[in-house]
Amino acid sequence: MAFPKNFDWGIASSAYQTEGGYNEDGKGPSIWDVFSNQPGRINGGGNGNICCDHYHRFREDVALLKELGVDSYRLSVSWSRVFPEGAGKVNPEGLQFYSDLVDEILAAGISPIVNLHHYDIPQALYEKGGWENRETVDHFVRYAATLFDLFEGRVSRYMTLNDVRGTMLGGYVTGERAPGRRGELKAAVQGWHNITMSSAKVIENFRKRQVPGGEIGCVMGVMPIYPDEDTHECRKLAKAISYFYNDAFLSPVIAGKYPDGLLEILDERGLMPMMASDDLEVLARNPADYVGVSYYTCMRVAPREGGDPGNPMSLFERRGRDPRTKSGWEIYPDGLYDTLMHIKDTYGNPKVYVSENGAAMPDEIWKNGMIEDDDRIAYLRDHIAVTERALMDGANILGFHVWSLMDNFEWQQGFTKGFGLIHIDRETLKRSPKKSFYWYRDLVANRGL
Ligand code: PNW
């Protein structure tokens, strides 16, 4: 067995997807509170107002985590619960909630990994330009420092933020996600640069604190891109898409620089972001300690005529093959292997966590009082197997985190796609571990497959 004894087996979740308590105890709204309450935005009409009610039921949820026996748990903090306006006055009750949550996790013998931000920027900051506004970088730095102070002596492991590509692509290009803007490439690129700098500056400040055992990374959604036709043109297309989709985001975090040629391309297209004069140096000084790789599926592409140049997603055909999950995503475990080896070979074998992997599955069949989700178990087993193969082939993988602890608010898909190892009854909010919960518990106890 390749997994070392100290391999970090964990599970992940995020604030907006689980907490609810959307306007309680001084919390301000985030862009997701606003977006999910607009008619027609969310499949099935759900929102995060009550959500899984984790805000009130976190002790019960941590007890389930303890039963699961994971080494670590990645949670995210709601910025607008801590700073209702994103900046300015801190909300003591928000701090208290996260303080109590972290104490509960520690008391369960689980190592918390605090992800500072997971898509839910405060609405008040969005109204001043959000990630497009350079001042947001300073507000994020102060917000991070507030959490580092709060958790001093308790939390040593952090992620700066989650899935930069998804934040900008969903929010500013396809418009499927908050704040719901479409085709705004220039705004997306400026926001991306400002997020990149926010992460780098927070990493720099965290290091200055010399937290014992301290480590800080950044989570990236990675999706390998394969040509779906055996032509030179198609292979070239797949390579180009992968560069923009993956390496453009991985390189700043792992290598401390945008990949070769990227800024020139942005410049040629009139998309060059505004930068402070020392930004590229700050970036270069602060590669992350590790990168979180969130992997779900791959993308197969083919050339497409007549797309809209303002919407890069329309310039190629996106294909997938069966079998698929309930999200319609092709199940392709080898794509995770390819991703892990690509990172190893391209970036000098950096430290990596598989920060998310999991699936919404079509048949959630109740049998003997439990959802017997053998398809989810198979999905996870196959992805853990290729992680083990990548480890044997020399990739520097430190841990694996299942997405997610419980069925939760799956963004524009609302409550129609459950990724949880725990089922949540939408009427009663009763928690019921699925078969996969017990399967993963045994895997963690055995330290591998
Ligand atoms: C995750 N990719 O993001 C999010 O972090 C979760 O909040 C969400 O529930 C989960 O996806 C499932 O949708 C990702 O490019 C974004 O492959 C993009 C990718 C992976 C994960």
- Is pLDDT above 90 for 118? yes
CB within 8 A of 311, min separation 6: which ones? 173, 174, 182, 183
The atom of ligand 1 lying closest to the CA of 245 is 15
Phi, psi of 63 (to 5 degrees): -60, -35
Look-up of token digits 């032509």: 231
Q: Residues forming the annotated binding site for substrate?
A: 17, 118, 162, 296, 403, 410-411
CB within 8 A of 116, min separation 6: which ones? 76, 77, 79, 140, 143, 144, 147, 158, 159, 160, 161, 202
CB within 8 A of 357, min separation 6: which ones? 294, 295, 296, 336, 380, 383, 400, 401, 402, 403
Q: Ligand 1: which residues within 6 Å by Cβ?
A: 14, 17, 162-163, 166, 221-223, 294, 296, 356, 403, 410
Phi, psi of 432 (to 5 degrees): -135, 110
Q: Is-contact 436 373, C-beta < 8 A? A: yes
Q: How far is the CA of 42 from the centre of ligand 1 (A)?
A: 16
The atom of ligand 1 lying closest to the CA of 408 is 9
ipTM score: 0.96
Look-up of token digits 């196959």: 382
- Is pLDDT above 90 for 343? yes
Give the model's confidence band at 177: pLDDT under 50 very low, under 70 low, under 90 confident, else very high. very high
Q: Supply the residue whose CA is at minimum distance from atom 9 of ligand 1.
A: 410
Helix (H) or strand (E) holding 341: helix 333-346
CA angle 168, 291, 198 (to 5 degrees): 50
Which sign, positive or negative, has the C-alpha torsion 41, 43, 49, 54?
A: negative
Instruction: Provide the pLDDT for residue 220.
Output: 98
Q: Supply the residue whose CA is at minimum distance from atom 16 of ligand 1.
A: 221
Instruction: Provide the pLDDT for residue 77.
Output: 99
- Is pLDDT above 80 for 310? no
- What is the share, in percent, of the chain residues with pLDDT greater than 90? 96
CA angle 438, 356, 366 (to 5 degrees): 35
Instruction: Provide the pLDDT for residue 129.
Output: 98
- Please tell me the least confidently modeled range out of 124-133, 217-226, 301-310, 412-421: 301-310
Average pLDDT over residues 127-137: 98
Helix (H, G, I), strand (E, B) or coil at 31: helix
The atom of ligand 1 lying closest to the CA of 413 is 13
Instruction: Provide the pLDDT for residue 239.
Output: 96
Burial of 172 from C-beta contacts in 10 A (0-12 / 13-18 / 19+): buried
Q: Choose the catalytic residue: 229, 356, 372, 427.
A: 356
Q: How far is the CA of 60 from the centre of ligand 1 (A)?
A: 26
- Average pLDDT along the chain: 97
Average pLDDT over residues 288-312: 92
CA angle 371, 373, 379 (to 5 degrees): 160
How far is 195 from 202, CA to CA, in rounded Å?
A: 11
- Please tell me the least confidently modeled range out of 81-95, 157-171, 215-229, 301-315: 301-315
Give the model's confidence band at 363: pLDDT under 50 very low, under 70 low, under 90 confident, else very high. confident
Average pLDDT over residues 179-204: 97
The atom of ligand 1 lying closest to the CA of 119 is 7
Q: Supply the residue whose CA is at minimum distance from atom 19 of ligand 1.
A: 221
Q: How far is the CA of 197 from the centre of ligand 1 (A)?
A: 21
- Is pLDDT above 80 for 309? no
Instruction: Provide the pLDDT for residue 1.
Output: 72
Q: Compute and round to an integer the Cα radius of gyration of the chain.
A: 21
Give the model's confidence band at 128: pLDDT under 50 very low, under 70 low, under 90 confident, else very high. very high
- Is pLDDT above 90 for 312? no
Average pLDDT over residues 388-408: 98
Q: Is-contact 397 344, C-beta < 8 A? A: no
- pLDDT tens-digit profile of 222-276? 999 999 999 999 999 999 999 999 999 999 999 999 999 999 999 999 999 999 9
Q: Is-contact 136 129, C-beta < 8 A? A: yes
How far is 109 from 72, CA to CA, in rounded Å?
A: 9
Helix (H) or strand (E) holding 312: none
Q: How far is the CA of 297 from the centre of ligand 1 (A)?
A: 10
Instruction: Provide the pLDDT for residue 314.
Output: 86
- Is pLDDT above 80 for 27? yes
356 catalytic per annotation: yes
Q: Supply the residue whose CA is at minimum distance from atom 13 of ligand 1.
A: 410
Q: How far is the CA of 23 from the centre of ligand 1 (A)?
A: 26
Instruction: Provide the pLDDT for residue 39.
Output: 97
- Is pLDDT above 90 for 106? yes
> CB pairs under 8 A, 24+ apart, for 375-384?
376/421, 376/434, 376/436, 377/435, 377/436, 377/439, 379/325, 379/331, 380/436, 380/439, 380/440, 381/449, 382/331, 382/333, 383/295, 383/333, 383/336, 383/354, 383/357, 384/443, 384/448, 384/449
Residues shown for the chain: 449
- What is the share, in percent, of the chain residues with pLDDT greater than 70? 100
Give the model's confidence band at 315: pLDDT under 50 very low, under 70 low, under 90 confident, else very high. confident
Give the model's confidence band at 302: pLDDT under 50 very low, under 70 low, under 90 confident, else very high. very high
Instruction: Provide the pLDDT for residue 164.
Output: 96
Q: How far is the CA of 410 from the centre of ligand 1 (A)?
A: 9
In single-letter form, the type of residue at position 103 comes to D
Look-up of token digits 């002790």: 59
Burial of 33 from C-beta contacts in 10 A (0-12 / 13-18 / 19+): buried
The per-residue DSSP string of 374-428 comes to: HHHHHHHHHHHHHHHHHHHTT--EEEEEEE-SB----GGGTTSS---SEEE-TTT
Task: Pick from 219, 296, 419 the residue to mutate for probing ligand 1's pocket: most ligand atoms within 8 Å of its CB.
Answer: 296
Alpha carbon distances (Å) from 44 to 39, 416, 423: 10, 7, 18
